[in-house]
Amino acid sequence: MRYMTAGESHGPEEVAIIEGIPAGLTITAADINEQLARRQHGYGRGQRQVIETDTVTIMSGVRHQVTLGSPIALNVHNDDHNHWSKIMDPNSPATVENSMRKVLRPRPGHADLVGGMKYRHQADLRNVLERSSARETVMRVAVGAVAKKLLAALDIDVHGFVTNIGPASSDLTQLTKYKTLAELRAITESYPTRTLTATDDEAMREVIDQTKRQRDTVGGTVQVMATGVPAGLGSYVSADEKLDAKIARAIVGINAFKGVEFGGGFANATKYGSELMDEIYWSAERGFYRGANHLGGFEGGMTTGEMIVVRGVVKPIPTLYQPMQSVDIDTHENHRASTERSDTTAVTAAAVIAEAMVAIELAKAILDKFDTDSLSRLQEQVSAYREEIKHF
């Protein structure tokens, strides 16, 4: 399975093509739209989300709600394009009138300056920011929705939520209350900050409100968990086959993500080996299993069969209403950076995007190992494999 996205933030459409999804998977636009709505709704988003109601059109690869095995093409219209149709017009040459809203004062922390240098976009850094905008993540969530449907057909569930926004952290001890991700999902999706408790939600909303009053932005941390993942996805044999490494890349590849950890993560650095390794047990019902999950479901770049636990760190959005020191790329004079409309925080959306990226990497790993032509054959193979390792 592979995919590619295209689209500029204020261009006409966002698009994606996915190749390698087996035939026979039921998928509808409603399935995808449900995930797109989750990405849009979250505390701290800005005015753009009021303009957009992200809805997908399935252009190919699905017939009568079932995948054909051919490439699946998806698109999502940018409603805001109506306000930008001249500025983003692909067909007419640049004129004074359609080159308004030029960006010449790069924002520290954004791709503006280096992207301009790299692609020689000297006339207008908008040529950089339109694609580097996190608007593109709408398509990663759409692709992730397809991946999640495939995983659900194999009894694998994936869920992302918010563990921290600025100084407000969620109470992770609450996690032990939930036996399934479905139970956890019902809770975290009920809070506007997509976190674990009403108290955490209130504290996080207060941080966001305060940040907005200060005309600043704030980052945070998100956690993704996956259950039902069989042991042995990924491989130890080569560095680029390690599935935790692929997931790490996918997480840090999300706009504004600057770090990733698995299980106990960076805190493991202060532990002794005897405190940390997940001891091995066996029962006739479960086969091999672990007494704990400090390593987040991975050993040797392979899934252990325990829950996958991944966290990603999201930096604050670099577009500030109180812009920082920058330099005009035309005059080389000191100036405040350009301001664009922006969000106070996108951490609530980031949890949904990280969930999509983990789902995509898990789906790819499954399709690397098993049949990719037909869903029913894939299901047969995965269930035979589960039986085999249970009796190892």
Block residue for tokens 């000297």: 122
Amino acid type, 206: E
Question: CA torsion, points 112, 164, 139, 184, in degrees to nearest 10?
Answer: 180
120 is known to lie in a ligand binding site:
no
Residue (133 or 372) nearer to ligand EPS, CB? 133
390 is known to lie in a ligand binding site:
no
Minimum distance, C-beta of residue 45 to ligand EPS, in the bound complex (Å):
7
Residue pair 366/381 in contact by the 8 Å Cβ criterion: no
Chain-centre distance for alpha carbon 49: 17
Residue (132 or 195) nearer to ligand EPS, CB? 132
- Element at 3 (helix H, strand E): strand 2-6
Minimum distance, C-beta of residue 12 to ligand EPS, in the bound complex (Å):
14
318 is known to lie in a ligand binding site:
yes
342 is known to lie in a ligand binding site:
no
Minimum distance, C-beta of residue 55 to ligand EPS, in the bound complex (Å):
13
194 is known to lie in a ligand binding site:
no
67 is known to lie in a ligand binding site:
no
Q: What DSSP assignment string belongs to 31-79?
A: HHHHHHHHHH--TT--THHHH----EEEEESEETTEE-SSPEEEEEE-T
Residue pair 36/55 in contact by the 8 Å Cβ criterion: yes
Residue nearest to ligand EPS according to CB distances in the complex: 48
Strand partners for 298: 303
Minimum distance, C-beta of residue 339 to ligand EPS, in the bound complex (Å):
10
Minimum distance, C-beta of residue 222 to ligand EPS, in the bound complex (Å):
15
Instruction: Please tell me the distance from the alpha carbon of residue 172 to that of residue 195, in angstroms, as a whole number.
Output: 10
192 is known to lie in a ligand binding site:
no
* Cβ neighbours of residue 328 closer than 8 Å, sequence gap 6 or more: 104, 105, 334, 335
Q: Work out the burial of residue 374: count CB atoms within 10 Å of its CB; fewer than 13 is exposed, 13-18 middle, 19 or more buried.
A: middle
Residue (126 or 148) nearer to ligand EPS, CB? 126
Minimum distance, C-beta of residue 301 to ligand EPS, in the bound complex (Å):
32
Residue (87 or 362) nearer to ligand EPS, CB? 87
Q: Return the closest-CA partner of residue 9 out of 90, 140, 128, 98.
A: 128
Residue (138 or 313) nearer to ligand EPS, CB? 138
Residue (135 or 311) nearer to ligand EPS, CB? 135
* Cβ neighbours of residue 14 closer than 8 Å, sequence gap 6 or more: 5, 6, 7, 75, 76, 78, 135, 136, 138, 139
177 is known to lie in a ligand binding site:
no
Q: Return the closest-CA partner of residue 162 out of 117, 126, 211, 200.
A: 200
61 is known to lie in a ligand binding site:
no
Minimum distance, C-beta of residue 178 to ligand EPS, in the bound complex (Å):
28
Amino acid type, 9: S
Minimum distance, C-beta of residue 61 to ligand EPS, in the bound complex (Å):
24
Residue (37 or 175) nearer to ligand EPS, CB? 37
Block residue for tokens 């890349």: 249
- Give CA separation, 216 vs 260, 320, 324, 327, 368, in Å: 24, 6, 11, 20, 44
377 is known to lie in a ligand binding site:
no
Minimum distance, C-beta of residue 42 to ligand EPS, in the bound complex (Å):
10
Residue (186 or 324) nearer to ligand EPS, CB? 324
Residue (83 or 271) nearer to ligand EPS, CB? 83
Instruction: Please tell me the distance from the alpha carbon of residue 19 to that of residue 5, in angstroms, as a whole number.
Output: 12
Site residues for ligand EPS per CB under 6 A: 9, 46, 48, 52, 80, 133-135, 138, 255, 319, 340-343
133 is known to lie in a ligand binding site:
yes
**Where is the binding site for FMN, in residues?**
131-133, 255-256, 300, 315-319, 341
**Where is the binding site, in residues?**
39, 45, 131-133, 255-256, 300, 315-319, 341
**Where is the binding site for NADP(+), in residues?**
39, 45
